[in-house]
Every structure is written in C-alpha cells, then in structure tokens.
Amino acid sequence: MQQDSGGRLMRHAPTEASRALWKRSVEPLRLSVGAVCVFLATADFLLGQTVFLASIELYHRAFGVRPPDIWDSICLSVTAGLLLVAFMTARGAYTVSGILDDHCRIKTLFSGWLFVFFSILWLAFLTKTTSTFSRGSLTLAFAVGFPILLPGHAVLARGLKRLLAAEKLVLRTVYLFYSGVPGKEQGIINKLGQQGIAVCGVSNIEKDDGTIAARSVHAAAAAAQAAFRNGSYGAVYLFCSWDQRKLIERILEEMSRLPLPIYLFADAYIDRILAGCPLHTGWQRAFEVQRVPLRPAERLLKRLFDIAVASLLLLFLCPLMALVACAIALENGGPVLFRQMRRGFGGKPFNIYKFRSMTVQENGTQIRQAQRNDARVTRLGRILRRSNIDELPQLFNVLRGEMSLVGPRPHAVAHDDTYTLTIASYAYRHHVKPGLTGWAQINGFRGETKELWRMEKRVEHDLWYIKSWSMLLDIKIIWKTALLMFVDRNAY
C-alpha cells in the first residue's frame, strides 16, 4: 500500500493486462482440477465396467451358454473399472498435461487396459475363481475394450483442448510476479490461459539502474495481497531469472503473510538443465546436461541390426565384390583395396576400406577431396563411385564394430582437423559410430564441400540424426539410400 498527499491508502496500480484478465476470468466456466479429474475417472470407470458387463452378456447370448451369476458379473466389472482408474491415476493420466499429450494418453490407456486384463487373471487364479467366467468372454472384453475406450478419451481430450485453447475453461486462478523484458508478460499470460490457468493480476517489478528497487517489490507484494483479499486466488507464479536471488528472497519474505504456494518458474537456461535426467547421489542432486546419444539397450539393438544386415549383404554381394576386385586388378595391377585413416566413435582412429577408384592413395595431412571430372579417378573408378559400389568393403568395418550401417559419414583425419576449428559442433559427430550412409547423404549433402556452408549443413543433418535416432529412422535411411544408389548426382 502507498499513501497519497491526503494520507489516503492507494493500491499498487494494476496493469492493462491485469484489468483485461480480471474481466475475462469472470466469463469462462470455472472448474477445479480435482473436478476434472473426478469426471474423467468416473467416465473411465463406467466405460470399463460397461465393457465387461456387455462382453459377458454378448458372449453367452451368442454361443447359448448359461451366463454366470449377475452379482459375480457386477463384481468383476466393478473390479475392472477400479483397476483401470487406479492405474490411470498413478500414471498421471488425469492431469491436464496427461490429457493434452495425445501420444502419452494413448500409450497410458493401452498399458492400463493390459494391466486390467492381467490383474483380473491373477486375481482369479489367487481366489480360485477361474471357472466362474469363460475365457471367451474375458478375451472379448479385452479385445473390444481398448477400441471403445480410445474414442471416448479422444472426444473428451478434444473437448478439453478446445475449451482451453479458447480460454473458456478455468481450472485455477493465480497471481503473477514478473521481472523481465517489458511486454513479454502478456505472452506468458496467454500460454497459461491455454492450460486453464487464469491470471487475476500482474505485478511488474521495475528495475532501477539495473538493480531491483525495494519499493517496487513492496508495492508489487502489496498489490498481490490486496487482490487476495478482494478475490481469492490459489497460487503465486514468479517469473524471473534465477540469478536474481535477492529479488526472489524479498518476494518470498513479503508474500509470507499469505497462506499460498509460490512457484518459481525456470528461465530458458535453467529449463534446459532441468529437462535432463536427474541423478541422486544421496547427499546432492544433479541433472544430466549432456545425454549419451544412445542408451545401452539402444546401442545393443543397433549393433545386432548392423551385424545381421551386414552379414546378409556380404553373403548376397560376395560374387559382385569378387568381380570388382578382379576388374581393379586387371585395370591397374595395384592393390584392390584403398585404406585410409578415419576417426570413429569418440574420435578413435581406424582404417576404412574402399575399392580403389583412384590412381593415388593419399593418407597424410594434406588430402584433396574428389571433384567432378577428377583426373585422379580411373575409368573403372568412375563407375564404382557413381554406383557407390566402391563403398561395399566398409561392410567389413561394420562387422568389426568400427562403423555402423547408418551414421555420420567419416571424413579424412586431415579434414576432421580443419573443420573442427571452423565448425563449433563438428566434434559432436563422433558421439556415435560413423556410417556407410546417413541422414545428410540421403538429403543431398554428400560429395565435395567447396563452400563452408555445405559442410555446416552436413553437420547439421548429422546432429539431427544423432538426437532423433530410432530403429525405424535407420531403416528409412537404408531404404532411401538403396533407391538413390544409381541416380545420386553428387556421387562422382
């Protein structure tokens, strides 16, 4: 509170945004988060119960079998509904974020229905009631349950999304403290509104020559306290940089008079850190700031896939490779294979194998990239390079564990040294094994890199692959590589 010249008390003047928010927050439908959760849980319970009752009745009517006692059927259906609700609640399916995430919602619902089915089988085994219900009726309930529950969830989620997007549904009301770039608080308010959170008031904390003025914090806290007395809200949201410790402590001290939770939202930098996997050491907590590209299980899966496919390809292509080796020996009379030092996983050096397609075998500190119409390429070499057959010996690198079928293409060590100094993220390519083909190659970034931007785009695609890896992505890249093998204009 502040006093004017006449000694009268004045409130901290609300912003235009807070006035509009007060007006808008009166109009939408107001429901508590608990009410929404209860509604969704009740819908799941009734749907799950109905599925089991209907399945038992339909199955016995269809096959003319005497149905079980009605009370046994009701007991089974109630148990199924309760198990489904318990599982979904434990997995956070009835929270706003759980409802709005389509992928998470479908996955949780399917897992929940599996849990119900196997739990009922286990309970029936423990209570020795497996003969009470036919296996056919239970199988029918399991088969039709998920397809029935899924559309119901989709309809409820879509309705909730529309209400939230239009800011027609308010699940909670909060007060906002903001210290940052003026004007950006409106964007925060809009995003909160789309999550069902109405902001009843905003206090912008002003800076005085780069320092937070104590009077600004006091006035902001006074306005928040007055808003609580005039119209209760459920929490205080604080948006400011985490390095403003004195400001945070002062707000907590000023707002300690109100029995409300206060939430400090992470700024952009801290949010990236907190997104990492937490590590508890017993006495302190840490967050993973650099994720290993592939988890142990993922590395094992990728390795098994590499071994299986590379072995099959070598078995199938062995006659072709033998013919190519004979042709190279007849044309040049020199070594059939070309070996060159490359860097693999973690920067570990290894010798890469190729069919020799040039008259030179450079492997030093100065290596010139192959160019279009390069005089060093032999006549047979042009065919091999154009069709990518010269790369086939790298299947042995794959079997030896030095390379993978899919990954960032390995460059000569001399080129690695050059680009590591000019492209900041270049070394990240070595976080996975190099590959015979890669995401950059099927998107046209292969061959000579005369301009720096070409290598930058190649690295950009490589890093995207590392961050987005999946087994399906590897299969997609291999398939597209096969389609491009004889038509790639950048192969020369």
23 pLDDT more than 60? no
Q: Could you report the per-residue pLDDT of 105-136, keeping only the tens digit for each?
A: 888 888 888 898 888 888 877 777 666 667 77
DSSP string computed for 241-280:
-TT-HHHHHHHHHHHTTS---EEEEP-HHHHHHHTSPEEE
Answer yes or no: is pLDDT of 307 > 90: yes
State residue 8's pLDDT score.
37
Average pLDDT of the residues in 54-66: 77
Q: Which of 2-6, 69-73, 190-194, 391-395 has the lowest mean pLDDT?
A: 2-6
**Residue 367 and residue 412 in contact, taking contact as beta carbons nearer than 8 Å:** yes
Confidence band, pLDDT 50/70/90 cuts, at residue 3 = very low
For residue 2, pLDDT over 80 is answered with no
| The pLDDT of residue 164 is above 80 | no
Are the C-beta atoms of 177 and 240 separated by less than 8 Å? Answer: yes
What one-character-per-residue DSSP string does 423-462 give? Answer: -TTGGGGGGS--EEE-HHHHTT--S---SHHHHHHHHHHH
Using alpha carbons, select from 383, 388, 378, 376 the residue that is nearest to residue 437. 388
For residue 270, name the pLDDT band (cuts at 50, 70, 90): confident
| Dihedrals phi, psi of 18, to nearest 5 degrees | -70, -35
Query: For 211-220, 301-310, 358-367, 444-453, which range has the lowest pLDDT when averaged over its residues?
Result: 358-367
- Tell me the mean pLDDT in the region 375-401: 86
- Per-residue pLDDT, averaged over 204-219, amounts to 68
Mean pLDDT of the chain: 81
- pLDDT category at 323 given cuts 50, 70, 90 is very high
Between 94 and 235, residue with greater pLDDT: 235
| 341 vs 6, higher pLDDT | 341
Q: What is the pLDDT of residues 76-86, one digit of tens each?
A: 888 888 988 88
pLDDT of residue 433: 94
Measured between alpha carbons, how far is 389 from 372 in angstroms, rounded to an integer? 17
The pLDDT value recorded for residue 492 is: 45
pLDDT band at 364 (very low <50, low <70, confident <90, very high): low
| Banded pLDDT at 314 (limits 50, 70, 90) | very high
Tens digit of each residue's pLDDT (9 = 90 or more) over 396-439? 999 999 999 999 999 888 888 888 888 888 988 999 999 999 99
The predicted structure's pLDDT at residue 139: 81
CB atoms within 10 A of CB 153: 21
